Structure formats: structure tokens, C-alpha cells
Amino acid sequence: MRANLHHLFNPESIAVIGASAHRGKIGYELLNNIITFGYKGKIYPVNIRAGEVDSILGLKPFQSLEDIPGPVDLALITIPAQYVADAMRDCIKKEVKACVVITSGFSETENIKGEQELVDIAESGSMVLLGPNVFGVVYTPVNLNASFGPTHLLAGKIAFITQSGALGISLMDWTIAERIGLSSVVSVGNKADIDDDDLLEYFAQDTYTRAIAIYMEGIKNGRRFMNLAEKIVLQKPLIVIKSGRSQKGAKAAASHTGSLAGVDNVFTSAFKQVGVLRAKTTREAFDWARIFHLEKPKGDNVVIITNGGGAGVMATDEAEENNLHLLDDYSYLEDVFKDCVPPFGSTRNPIDLTGQTGEEGYKIALRAALQEERIHCIVVIYCEAPLTDPSQVATFIIKEVEAQRSKKPVVVAFIGGTRSEDAINMLNEHGIPTYPEPERAMDALGAFYRWVHFIESEKKEKPPETLTLPAKEIESIIDNARREQRLQLLESEAKQILRLAGFDVPGFWMGSTKEECVRAAQKIGFPVVMKIVSEDIIHKTEVGGVRVGISSVDEVREAYTDIMTRVRKKYPDATIRGIIVCEMVEKGVETILGVSSDPQFGPVVMFGLGGIYVEVLKDVSFRVAPLSRRDAQEMVHEIKATPLLYGVRGGEKKDIAGLEDAIYRLGLLAAETPVIAEMDINPLMVLDKQKGCKVVDARITLQPKED
Amino acid sequence: MRANLHHLFNPESIAVIGASAHRGKIGYELLNNIITFGYKGKIYPVNIRAGEVDSILGLKPFQSLEDIPGPVDLALITIPAQYVADAMRDCIKKEVKACVVITSGFSETENIKGEQELVDIAESGSMVLLGPNVFGVVYTPVNLNASFGPTHLLAGKIAFITQSGALGISLMDWTIAERIGLSSVVSVGNKADIDDDDLLEYFAQDTYTRAIAIYMEGIKNGRRFMNLAEKIVLQKPLIVIKSGRSQKGAKAAASHTGSLAGVDNVFTSAFKQVGVLRAKTTREAFDWARIFHLEKPKGDNVVIITNGGGAGVMATDEAEENNLHLLDDYSYLEDVFKDCVPPFGSTRNPIDLTGQTGEEGYKIALRAALQEERIHCIVVIYCEAPLTDPSQVATFIIKEVEAQRSKKPVVVAFIGGTRSEDAINMLNEHGIPTYPEPERAMDALGAFYRWVHFIESEKKEKPPETLTLPAKEIESIIDNARREQRLQLLESEAKQILRLAGFDVPGFWMGSTKEECVRAAQKIGFPVVMKIVSEDIIHKTEVGGVRVGISSVDEVREAYTDIMTRVRKKYPDATIRGIIVCEMVEKGVETILGVSSDPQFGPVVMFGLGGIYVEVLKDVSFRVAPLSRRDAQEMVHEIKATPLLYGVRGGEKKDIAGLEDAIYRLGLLAAETPVIAEMDINPLMVLDKQKGCKVVDARITLQPKED
């Protein structure tokens, strides 16, 4: 964690530079929130015209920082942009440890230079800087509300980081109305210094924070975020609302991989890869966040208790969509619940107590469920009825949950009017996650289980990975192309690199004369394939530059002449390196592996089945490189066409282990060779089980050199 | 509309049979709601022990119906199940026009006979019967709350029909809290007499109802519902929450079509076909419903006005998912909004007024948007900020919207706390659909436009359809199979039927001897295909019963012997009809057309591309038969593999018009020949444009005869 970041959240003294005695001014609201929310440390209002007033909000104002008698840990700056730099210089003199620049008018209005100045000043004194262009910071464990948002937040265990100011403030208000308890709110604004990653590191070790929610529009360094997230997720769930899903990402891309990846697919894959929960809306994010202070369930058996059959059906639908496991041992369930359920109800999970059940019915059924070891998680759904009292039902639920020893997760949904709203608030205030719709309860539970299962699978022992690539040899092939000022490697070069990375590349020889090709074919053995090699020709087949199934010396000679004639006719000026003679690969399932470069995440690996599966059906999967062996496995099984690899219509099962290994190696190669911009192995022929995967054709493009 | 249904909603007098003076009894709550909600007609409490009390809730009680001096239009019955039939007989005597049986204990507890008795009694006097097992009926235009749900509902334009009791009641409470105005609530319970269809007919002509929402778990007659819905949707939107999405539909099915259709896919397709909006949750249904009292927009140009960039981005994401068109003529937008937006805001839609905008800013921007003819629909998003007043923003919005002449739809989202909640309620009370999340506003707008576009496309002139099938000739082929007690038609029979239905079936002849096959091949012309014909052999290829590419008389003879030998070896006891000799069909795109029978909807047509597209990728589309030509068109374009029909990788564009015609004909054949249980045309070879589609193989299975 960064030095001094601690003081942003736990200052012993605060100066508000630009404090104001006028209600409605940010300098007033900020100071007022700090005082009113109950901050216990020293508070110093600073105002250039401090001499004109005796007090601001009951505190003695100071004309400048240096006038303050004691040390200042945290400075909040809310003065016009042109004075901010000077104020920050004063902070450095005063040895302030953290400062928050509320003021806007920096990089968001193209004032890049002004913002850089602030960063330089902060660095000169190793002070951390939050902002500029933020609404402040809140940390409830020390009653710190240094924001100009609402004053009275509900303390709790969720840390909320937001890149959007207006949205962030309105969500603070919303959390109050929804009884969502927060440990912290941080407005990150322009992220000139402190960014998401710094804050993640802080909250990862913060014992007052149980779940972290981030509203994010962009990310500076995707891979760094992933590395950090990967560690944090094992401790605490990380929920990200990444907006801008519809942005098409207009970057031109030569390869399939690049054009298919798109910005948003990469985010989704990256989050999945490291166990980050991606919420679609802020509401969903907080629905999820509030469930995470519960103890982890000891197993997957979920039981739903309801008084409404319809609500039960809807919960079941949503459970299936969230891959939740509703306990379905019906004779067991009948034993457990038969005394709670009237004859026209149901014990078949959902446990339907029917509309005629009273408050007492919930108590009995919930107690029974809590006592059973085979039930790992309980969802209670209550449809408001005129003759029962929602608050009474809530009270019973709270009592039963608090009395239980096992700390089994209980999630609740109340459907109804204002009486139910009150009951929902009561339950949430008692730490029982409660929602106004059964679907939201199930959706939150789904996120809970996704996180739990991710951790479990991460904790499984993994074989130590000792695979290393011969970096030097790969580099020398690339250097050669660089010397010739080529970004596009020749097929033979690409294949050599892949062979060095451990791929099974069938025999190939370059021939620059007819007789060299004949000798190459004889070495390889018939039948062979012959292909033109030229950096100027991308679509070899279309120009007659490829011949397959060549089975004699005579045919080699004939093919050589034919290829050269055709190519020369179409591309009289192309630099022709010769003809590559390759072993014919037996028929298997054609797949495509690709790598493209994402501006935020770096190399991204794509997998799909050949031809129309990728081109028309867009049936592909992605992961950010380097990827784990489990990622490779998931990639193979994430596409719809996966069953084709298992053999359909009498086909043999293919070498799936070999394919996974190839994907894994490609991820490693991409991550360790950042100079590669794009790779396509198209096709990688996946043969029958244990027969391996063969690289039939390959293309590698280098990053343009930066000068 | 059914006679007397009118009186269920507009009775001039009501009797409550089982009225009670004891709070907490249904007979009390029911009567109390009728009185308190302000019903103006005559109200008669009926109680067997009426002699013992002077009044019930201030009204004179009667011991029996016949004691009541005047006529009774509507009777509500809430007495124990065993007395209900007698009470209904009294109703018939009294010439009651409509009765509601609240009492449960009938078909839902397997008391089928008791329920049938009620139906018979009602029919004997042409009285309509709602229930049994319902919580009542509400109709706000006449202040009728004849339910034991909450008392004070908000009057409005939405009719809500619910199959679930507990859920329905709790949703009534919820509509009050959410300020959702209702014209009616009907609990349909066991649907012994009055069902969804009757109610739809009523609400279709009801001027007080603008949108209809139905919570449905099952449906009696899907096709009847569709026919009705199709008409209603042109007048009023019909929103259905159909729960039970996850029910797998355990029916066994021999064909692809049957196994792929599944119960839920058919519902989705059927609803889409007739323009019914399917909501996933009750919340979504009401979110949608409340938008429909707005005037229809005059075009597709949507503009979003916001004070939060983040909220704008999220709205944009959701707009794209809902196929909404955000106006993107940026220079025009800049002209319109440049005076409303500060320099660091944006006029590029979302119009970002920035967090620094005040209440006034919204007024100016909204007014500008309302005045512009090129803007057809406006979304206003407000993120609560400490220094602005949500209720003031709401007041400005209400004023501007009410002052506008064009009646352009305005939809609003306020994100924030309790102050925003109050403002949301205020806006909703003024008829401006307002939501606490921008995504919900966009989602509702999406439903609005889906409905509007459906109506527009329905209103386009359609060519009169004069296609008729030769029913008699088709019937005679089927009768022949019936006589032989076969459910499975022979390939030749199936092909004959398809030919009669106007399909292009390439030449085929049945031969029962070697020489007949030779003559058949000579008539057809080489090359030909030969296939075994036997009702006992389904998988012809697997047993060696098929030979393709036969190009001479000698080959025909050889193939005949070979097929017979192989088949006889595998199936020594099969009845063999002979060998069918067929024209070889040139290569095109292989598609599959299928028909299966759905228990609720009847024949369902499926379309997909051949082989793995259907079997592995499940890339298929469905419609309920008969389907329109537009349905056929949509089916072709709904699957992911559609581009293959347009020619990829240098292929020609295929005969898509011919394919659509084939699907249309299959729908007609299925609808007009209900005795057919299943059909598969596999493959239907779709040739190049204008070259048609050819039936290569076909299979038809008949319904088992009911005795």
C-alpha cells in the first residue's frame, strides 16, 4: 500500500482550505458534513478572509495553513483552480500527508498541464493526492464525511469507489434511503494521483470493509488492475459496474481476434478471469454488495420458503438463471417441513406455506430450516397480505436468524406496499439482506455463490508451472524481421516461433528454387502442400498461391511453375521469398487461436472453431494473457460449438487436453513477447484424442516501433 | 364480449354472502373495502345469522338473498365450500348477473366435481362466475373494490389480471406505494368460468383501460389467446408476466422440433408473433405499463438530458440493448442545446448539463427539446445533488410537460434518496412515468417503442392471401396410412403431401423390384439416390439403406441388391415397401423445417440450418402455426446463421424468398391438418437465388387416434 494513503482515511487533523460560512457553498457543506457526521479529530477551517469572521460553523478560522498551531494530516481544497497549486505548496510546507482537491477545471477541461503541476507538487513531498474534480471522501469507521454529498450515511461494510461525481453523490443519497451500510465512499475524479488500484490495496487490508464496489468508466492499466483484483477477490468480493458497454471501440484491426474482441468483451473476460463480479447497474451492484457480510454457506443446497406460489415460481426461474441449486430431495424436505405446510401447500421447494399462513408459520418453517444441516442457505419470500403484519414477520425472521448458531445465510424478499417497505428496512438494518422483489434476492444470492465457487476453485492445489519459453531464440527471429523493416512475419518465421513455444508444427521447408522445393518435399514425404511466401501477399489462396495434395516430384515441379506464374501475374512487383513446402495434415476439427492487443489490457487470446463459427456465428471466447490452465479449459468450454470437439455424428473425441495446452502456451507466448501485436493460428487442426493439435497456418504481426 | 360480464365491473347492486361484523374475517374486509373505497350502488350484507345483529358495518344485514327487496347484479360469496353451490342456486333464483366465489377448496384441492357443479349452476342462469379461489375484483372507474386486498388503490389506466392470489394482493399494496394507477385488478383463481380471454375482451373495449398486464402461470388454449391478443394489441398494449420459464417441459419428443421447442420457447415465440410484450418480472411489467398512457411518439429520435455523465452512459448502454435510436445529428443538437450546456458539458446526446446545473437548467433544456419537431421523445435523468432540490426539478418538468402542445412522450429517472423518492412520486402522480434508475426508464421506453413498431408494421398493407391447400387429396393419403394403422407416413407419402402443399419435391418413384427401380431411374434421369422405404426403419443411413450418386443402370441394380442385403441383415423382420429412387439435388444450404405439437398452442413451426446448427448449436427459431408471411421472414432472420443464406466466402446468395414461402406453406399445412403430430423436412435444400428450395427428405407422423 502507498505510504500516507492511510492518512486519507484516518487523519488526526483536517484543514478545509476554502471553508465558507455561507450555506450552499461547497466550502460550507464540506465543513458542515465533517462536523455534523461526528469526526473526532481536529478541524481547521482555512479562508483567505479569515480575519473578517470570528468563526465558521463555530470553529476558529485561519488565514493560511501555516497559521495552524498543530500538524495537519489531511487537507481538503475547494478554492478556484488557479489558486490550487499554491495551496498545495503550502500543504507540502506544512507536511500534510494527504490532500483532496475538490476543485474542477483540470484535465477534464483539457487543462492537462495544470493537473500535472498538482501531481508534481504532491510528489515533491510524498503527499498523496485525491482528485482533482472530486466530491470528497467518506470513511465511516472514524465518522469521517469529508464530502459535499449528503451528511448522514449509514455505517456498514461496503466500500464504494466512483469515477462519476454526480452519480456518486446521488447514490450516496440512495444508500441512505435503501439502508445500505457503507464503510467508505471515494470519489476518484480525474485520478491524477490516487487511482482505483491504490484504493483497492487500501480496502483489501481494511478490516472495516467486507465488499468493494466500483463504478468505473475506464481503466488506466487493465492488467495491473487484474493482478491486484486477483489477490483481493480471495479476501473480499469485488463488484464492478463498468459502464460504456455499447461503445463499439472503433479501432481498426486486421485480424479476426482484434475485430471480434471489442472493448467490452475484453472487460467481461478479464473480470471473469480474476473473479471480479460485474454488475450491470448500480442497483444490482449494491444488491449484491449487501449480501457479502453474511458468512459463506457450507454447501450449495438452497431452500426457498414462501407464502405465495407465484412468487415461488418466479424465484425458481431466477434461481435457475443464476445456477443456484434448489435442494430437491423431496422426501427429506417433506420430513422437515410437513408440520409447517397445510395440505394444499407444498414441501417440494419452494416450500409453499400458502397465503393462509400467518406470521407464526414463517417462524416455525424458518426455525426448521435453520436447524437442518443439509440446508445451507435459506431464502424467505413474503407476499404482503392484509391479515398479516409484515413487521411481525420481519421480527420473527430477525429473532430466528440471530438465535441460530450455524450462521447460515438467510436472504429475504418482501413484496408489498409501505408496510413491507418498513419491514424491509428493519431487516436490512439488522443485517439481513432483504429486497422488494424475489428476483433481486435470487440474483444477489447468485453473485454470492459465484464468488464462493470462484474462491473454492482458486484454492484447489494447482501443479507448479515450470514452462518457460526460449525467449532469446524467439527474439532473434523477430529482430531479423525488424532489420528488414517488416511488421508482418513470414509464415516460416511465425511457424518457427510457434515451434519454439512448444506447438506441434508439421514439417515445412522453404524453397527458393524449383529443385529446392523438390528436395523439401522428398524430405517431408508426400503428400505435401505448397504455398507462396511473400510479405506483400496476405490472401495467398485467392491469388492461386496455394496448392494442396501434391503427391509426386513431377507434381511439385508443375505446382512450382503454376504458383509462380499466377502470383507474378497478379502481383508483378511483390517481393517473393520462395515457396514453403509443408506436410499435409490429416483432417480434424479446425480451430482458430488468435491474439490481439487491447489498449488497456495488453495481449488478449481468442479461441473459436474455424470458418463460419468465428466469422458468421461469432462463437468465440476470450481471456487476457497470460492465462492459467483453468482459463484455457474454460475458453474451450465457453463456446457453443464445444460439443463438436467431443465428437458428434459418430466422430471421435478430439484432443481437448492438447488444445487447452496450445491455448495456454499461446497466452504465455503473447504475455512474454509484448512486441507481438497480433497472432493468428488459423487453422489449428485438433486431431483425435491424444493425437495432438497441429499448426496448419500461422501469422504474426509485430507492434510498430515507437521512436 | 360475454353477456353479463359488464355487470361484474359495473354492478348497480352488490350482495356480500358471508358478510361478517368481525374485523379480520374475509367477509368483513370485503364489505369494508366496498364501503370505504366509495362504491355508490346498493350494498347488501347477507349472513345466515343476520337475525342476531342489527347492522354489519352500518348496513342492514339479510338472512338470505331472497329477502333483499331490490335486484342484485353482483354477488360475492365467502362462505365455507360446502355451502357455495346452494348460495349460487339462490343467486340464479334472484337473477344475479355475476358472481365471485372467493371461497377455496375446489379444483385446486382436487375437488373437480364440486367446481364443475358451480359452473353448471352458473350456466343454468347465464350468470358469469369469477373464481372460485380468488381474492376478488377491483374496478376503479366506479370505485369498486370488491376484494380483501388493501383498501385504497390509486385509480389509473392499467388493468391487472393475476392468476396468483398471494402475489396479486401483495402487488396491489406495491402499486399503492409506487403510485401506479389501476383501472382494475382481477383475481382469476381457478378460472372455472371467466378466464383471461373473457377479461381481455372486456378490457379491450373498456375506455378506462389503456394497458393490460397479466400474471400468468399457465394458459388453457394458447391459440385462442393469440387470436384475441392479436386484435387487442392494435388498440392497447398487452403485457404478460409468464412465470415458470425454467420448467423444462418433460414431454418426450421424437423429432428435433419437439425437443428443441420446449414449453417456454413456444410462449416467447407466440407472444412475439402477436405483439404481446413479455415481461420477465412483475416489476418490469408495471414499469412498462405505466408508460402507455403517453401519446405515441411521432418518430424514433430519442434525446436524453442528464446532469450526470455516468448516468448518461448507463442510459446509453440500455438504449442500445433496447434498440432505441438516440438522435445523433451532432451539429443540430449543438444548435438546439448550446445555450443550456456549460463548456465542460456535452450536447452530443446524452445532453450533459453537468453536476453544476441547477433546477433552472433542466427547465431550459427540456423546453428546448419539447419545442423541436425533430426530437420525438425525451428522457430526463436527474442525479440528486445536495445543492439542488429534486422537488423543484420535478415541478419544472411537470410544468413544461403540461404546457407543451405536441404531447411528446417524456420519461424521467431520478437517482437519489428520500427527497428524490418524493419527487418521483410527484411526477408519477402527474402522469409522467418516472423511475429510480435510468436503466428502468430506458427499458420501459424500449417496450413502448416495440409496441409502437409492432402496430406500425401490422398496419402496413398486406397482399390478400389466397393460398389454399387441396385438403381432400392430403386427407386421402393420411386416411390410407390410418387404414394400415400407421402413425409414421412413408417417405413417398410425406413427399406427396408436401408436393400437394406446393413444395418443390424433386422427382421420386417407388420401386418394389430391381427392374422397377431401373425404370424409375431412367425416368428421373441420372444421377439418382436410392433409399429403403419401410415404416420399421427410421435411421435409414445407419443401416446402409441409402445410396447416393448412382449414375448408371448397372449401378442401380448393384445398389438395389446391396441395400436389400444390408437392411435384411440388420432388420430381418421389417416390412419393406421397396426402394424410393430420387433425383439428386444439387448442393445448396441445407436447412431443416419442422413442426411439433404443443399441448397449449397446437402446431409449432421450427426453422434452422441443417446438421450441427440445429443439433449442437440449437440455432433455431419458432412460430405458432398458422403464421404470417412476416413471421416466416422473421424466422429466417432470427437465427445466428442467417448470413450463410446471404452467401459467405464467395458463395451465392440463396433463394431466401423461396425459403420464406416454404416456411409459410408449412405453417398453413400444419394448421389445416391438425391430424399431423410432427413433420420434419430434413434437409430442405435452399438453392441459389430464384432457383428455389428442394425437399430432399421428409417425415410425417400422425396424431394417435383418440377413441
Domain boundaries, chain A: 5-209, 295-459, 471-583, 589-702
3-state secondary structure at position B553: helix
User: How big is the CA angle at A644 (ends B587 and B539), to the nearest 5 degrees?
Assistant: 60
Confirm or reject CATH 3.40.50.720 for domain B5-209, answering yes or no.
yes
Is B243–A314 a contact, with Cβ atoms under 8 angstroms apart? yes
What is chain A's alpha carbon radius of gyration, rounded to the nearest angstrom? 32
Q: What is the percent of chain B where pLDDT is above 70? A: 97
3-state secondary structure at position A116: helix
Torsion B636-B640-B641-B642 (CA) sign:
positive
Residues A529, A581: Cα–Cα separation, whole Å? 6
ipTM above 0.85, yes or no: yes
**Interface check B310 vs A, CB under 8 A:** yes
- From B359, B369, B354, B365, select the one nearest B310 (Cα to Cα): B354
What pLDDT score was predicted for residue A259? Answer: 45
Residue range B690-701, pLDDT digits in tens:
999 999 999 999
What is chain B's alpha carbon radius of gyration, rounded to the nearest angstrom? 32
CA distances in angstroms from A176 to A37, A422, B385, B652, listed in the order given? 14, 14, 14, 62
CATH-assigned architecture of domain A295-459:
3-Layer(aba) Sandwich (3.40)
Q: Is the pLDDT of residue B464 over 80?
A: no
Cβ proximity of B349 and B383 under 8 Å? no
- C-alpha cell at position B680: 420434419
- From A587, A618, A265, A543, select the one nearest B648 (Cα to Cα): A618
Per the document, the length of chain B is: 707
What pLDDT score was predicted for residue B251? Answer: 31
> Taking all residues of chain B, what is their mean pLDDT, rounded to a whole number?
92
Class for domain B507-583, per CATH? alpha beta
Residue range B629-685, pLDDT digits in tens:
999 999 999 999 999 999 876 778 999 999 999 999 999 999 999 999 999 999 999
Where does residue A581 rank: exposed (0-12), middle (13-18), buried (19+ CB within 10 A)? buried
Chain B nearest-CA residue for A645: B616
**Interface check A282 vs B, CB under 8 A:** yes
Best mutation target among A28, A145, A154, A174 (most B Cβ atoms within 10 Å) is A174
**Interface check A385 vs B, CB under 8 A:** yes
Residue range A516-559, pLDDT digits in tens:
999 999 999 999 999 999 888 878 888 889 999 999 999 999 99
| Conformation bin of residue B431: beta by default, left when phi > 0, alpha when psi is -120 to 50 | left
User: How big is the CA angle at A113 (ends A599 and A201), to the nearest 5 degrees?
Assistant: 55
Strand partners, A146: A137
Residue range B240-274, pLDDT digits in tens:
998 876 553 333 233 334 444 456 888 999 999 99
- From B145, B172, B140, select the one nearest B156 (Cα to Cα): B140
Strand partners, A89: none
**Interface check B527 vs A, CB under 8 A:** no
Number of neighbours of residue A570 by Cβ within 10 angstroms: 13
Is A314–B281 a contact, with Cβ atoms under 8 angstroms apart? yes
Residues of A (203-222) whose Cβ lies below 8 Å from B: 215, 217
Class for domain A471-583, per CATH? alpha beta
Q: What is the mean pLDDT of each run of 10 residues along chain A (707 residues)?
A: 91 97 93 97 94 90 94 97 96 97 90 95 95 96 96 95 91 93 95 93 95 88 91 95 61 38 80 95 94 94 93 91 94 94 88 89 95 96 91 96 91 96 95 96 98 91 78 95 92 95 94 93 94 86 89 94 92 90 93 92 94 87 93 95 86 93 96 95 94 95 81
Is B166–A311 a contact, with Cβ atoms under 8 angstroms apart? yes
Chain A nearest-CA residue for B322: A246
What pLDDT score was predicted for residue B707? Answer: 53
What pLDDT score was predicted for residue A246? Answer: 59
What pLDDT score was predicted for residue B258? Answer: 44
Residues A698, B12: Cα–Cα separation, whole Å? 83
**Interface check A81 vs B, CB under 8 A:** no
Residue range A666-693, pLDDT digits in tens:
999 999 999 999 999 999 999 999 999 9
Average pLDDT over residues B519-528: 93
What pLDDT score was predicted for residue B246? Answer: 59
Contacts of B80 (CB under 8 A, 6+ apart): B103, B105
Average pLDDT over residues B174-186: 95
Number of neighbours of residue B108 by Cβ within 10 angstroms: 15
Torsion A573-A577-A583-A585 (CA) sign:
negative
What pLDDT score was predicted for residue A254? Answer: 31
For strands B434-435 and B508-511, give the pairing: unpaired
What pLDDT score was predicted for residue A51? Answer: 85
- Same topology for domains B5-209 and B589-702, yes or no? no
Is B417–A176 a contact, with Cβ atoms under 8 angstroms apart? yes
In this complex, which of B148, B170, B245 lies closest to A383 when CB atoms are compared?
B170
**Interface check A386 vs B, CB under 8 A:** yes
Residues B294-459: name the CATH superfamily. Succinyl-CoA synthetase domains (3.40.50.261)
Residues of B in contact with A169 (CB under 8 A): 355, 383-386
Confirm or reject CATH 3.30.470.20 for domain A589-702, answering yes or no.
yes
Best mutation target among A167, A278, A326 (most B Cβ atoms within 10 Å) is A167
Where does residue A680 rank: exposed (0-12), middle (13-18), buried (19+ CB within 10 A)? buried
Contacts of B160 (CB under 8 A, 6+ apart): B168, B171, B175, B182, B184, B185, B186, B212, B213, B214, B215, B289
Cβ proximity of B197 and B600 under 8 Å? no
